Structure 1
């Protein structure tokens, strides 16, 4: 299984295009005519929307064309993604996809409305956002091993919250249960905000959340963070150990943002866009802003994005099946 970590990300730029030097790509004439609409398949104001607007603004400056962000929310991201899967491959419309649109949702659907691989042209992985395990100040656990011991002492008695059924934090919780050999009941919320409110209030003892959403509460000591879910620590919280460091060596989950185009886009156009998105993500100010959101800037080749989607599908398929989230 192929995963892109922070260490791997450092090497992405050196192998940016197969058989084509980065300088040649950067010098390539813009093959896109007219404005670009970057579809965000979620409501405005969320992490994906914020990342998209940051990158779109810089991309517009680089290519000298308008890049308009349009929110097309619905069905957990499926509505917006389906629009791109059926769009024209002329560069006029792109998608800011996520692990939900390109792994979790297709795996959960009885009849997926699109194939995450064949119905899109991969462009670039933009950023990776870790998840985090946090507990209320009333919960006795101080670290991951303490949490596991507490849960094993009272199996099935305790609950954990997430931003909803089938979301990356929910599946992160189920993967944790499986790998740690513990039992706890999932409490789905309509978003990370309501779940965090109940965690702070002590209504639930444990929450699996996206780091960008939990960061402020962690810094204010409103909740206690036990572990980052990526393989290496987050620059936003360098003193917070990973779950893997604390005994679950192969535990790794995160969310990500990646750009996809409609199927059939000419290779010259997809590689031009990939180069431009990487250049945008490499911008010092964009990197600073993304890291303030606890997002790790990446920038990748189309091939690396394809492998990312494949690896996510391979990882989450057995989890979804074991939890019974596959729709009939």
Structure 2
């Protein structure tokens, strides 16, 4: 080999060696850790957005469902992960707003131990009841429940989750004595609703819709804006003034995630949420796409956390079981 060729090869070697880690990084999948099981609203929204993120990042994006314990194990998994952009927390109000309000001594700090990346979507909560309950309106359900103090229950995806506190808020404002029954995910509550062992559930339209279509449960009202999946539902605030509850979906990384990684992930996530085809799919789940940055996510999580914290401090609320 000529001397000039050897010198050119030697000069190129450092550049190639520096490029190898970047290429290896892009070939490795980004893991979206979810605090709920497959089949729920969080899983459905994540699976709509993951392909759009993968396309924009140029690397695979995989879903890692880690349900149970109010999302604490899933959150800890992300907190312990390297801040390399390969492990992200695709989560909701339950872990970053409701959970800290109920359990202030969590094994992590939801502000300090996570890097907010993007606010992606919201969904309103529906009041869903078992078809064994003889109520056709919110008012009729309240009257029925008031006649049975301590005998009417509602299910949720776990202690300290947003569906749990939504039920506690509804019961407090409607002056009902309802018993909370926690599960590992709202999907598990439907079998109990069908049998009549659970009377009510606050759930999102995407999870509730197929069960409503089967006729085994009924939706009585919506806690936010009207949803196209279940059109014509009255606002729950008409029967229970002051009641409103929606869930947000957001993306966090571990603490100390480098700014360049945050920017790259933010652009991919927001780009997916704003993609017309994916927006249509999200709307089909009853979700309202947002596509806002990490600061917007931090603000909405903090505001919701303050709201739930005020709720659980009310001496009339039992939000710890």
Q: TM-score, normalised by structure 1?
A: 0.79
The verdict on how the C-alpha distance between 1:172 and 1:101 changes in structure 2, with shifts beyond 3 A counting, is same
5+ residue gaps, structure 1: 1-29
Structure 2 matches for 1:107-256, cutoff 5 A? 107-109=101-103, 111-230=105-224, 232-244=225-237, 246-256=238-248
Match of 2:79 in 1: 85
Match of 1:24 in 2: none
- The counterpart of 1:288, out of the listed 258, 280, 284, is 280
- The counterpart of 2:267, out of the listed 266, 275, 288, is 275
Q: Is the 8 A contact 1:107 1:326 kept in 2?
A: no
Give the Cα separation in 1 of the matches to 2:48 and 2:220. Answer: 30
Q: 1:74, CA displacement in angstroms?
A: 4.8
The RMSD of aligned alpha carbons is: 2.7
Give secondary structure in 1 for the equivalent of 2:128. Answer: strand
Give the Cα separation in 1 of the matches to 2:107 and 2:150. Answer: 36
The verdict on how the C-alpha distance between 1:43 and 1:188 changes in structure 2, with shifts beyond 3 A counting, is closer
Give the Cα separation in 2 of the matches to 1:158 and 1:63. Answer: 48
Give the Cα separation in 2 of the matches to 1:154 and 1:82. Answer: 40
Q: 1:200, CA displacement in angstroms?
A: 2.5
5+ residue gaps, structure 2: 1-21
Q: 1:326, CA displacement in angstroms?
A: 4.9
Q: TM-score, normalised by structure 2?
A: 0.81
Q: 1:287, CA displacement in angstroms?
A: 1.9
Give the Cα separation in 2 of the matches to 1:137 and 1:84. Answer: 40
Q: 1:190, CA displacement in angstroms?
A: 4.7
Structure showing greater Rg: 2
Q: Is the 8 A contact 1:106 1:114 kept in 2?
A: no
Size of the aligned set, in residue pairs, is 296
Q: 1:159, CA displacement in angstroms?
A: 2.9
Q: 1:178, CA displacement in angstroms?
A: 1.0
Match of 2:14 in 1: none
Q: 1:243, CA displacement in angstroms?
A: 0.9
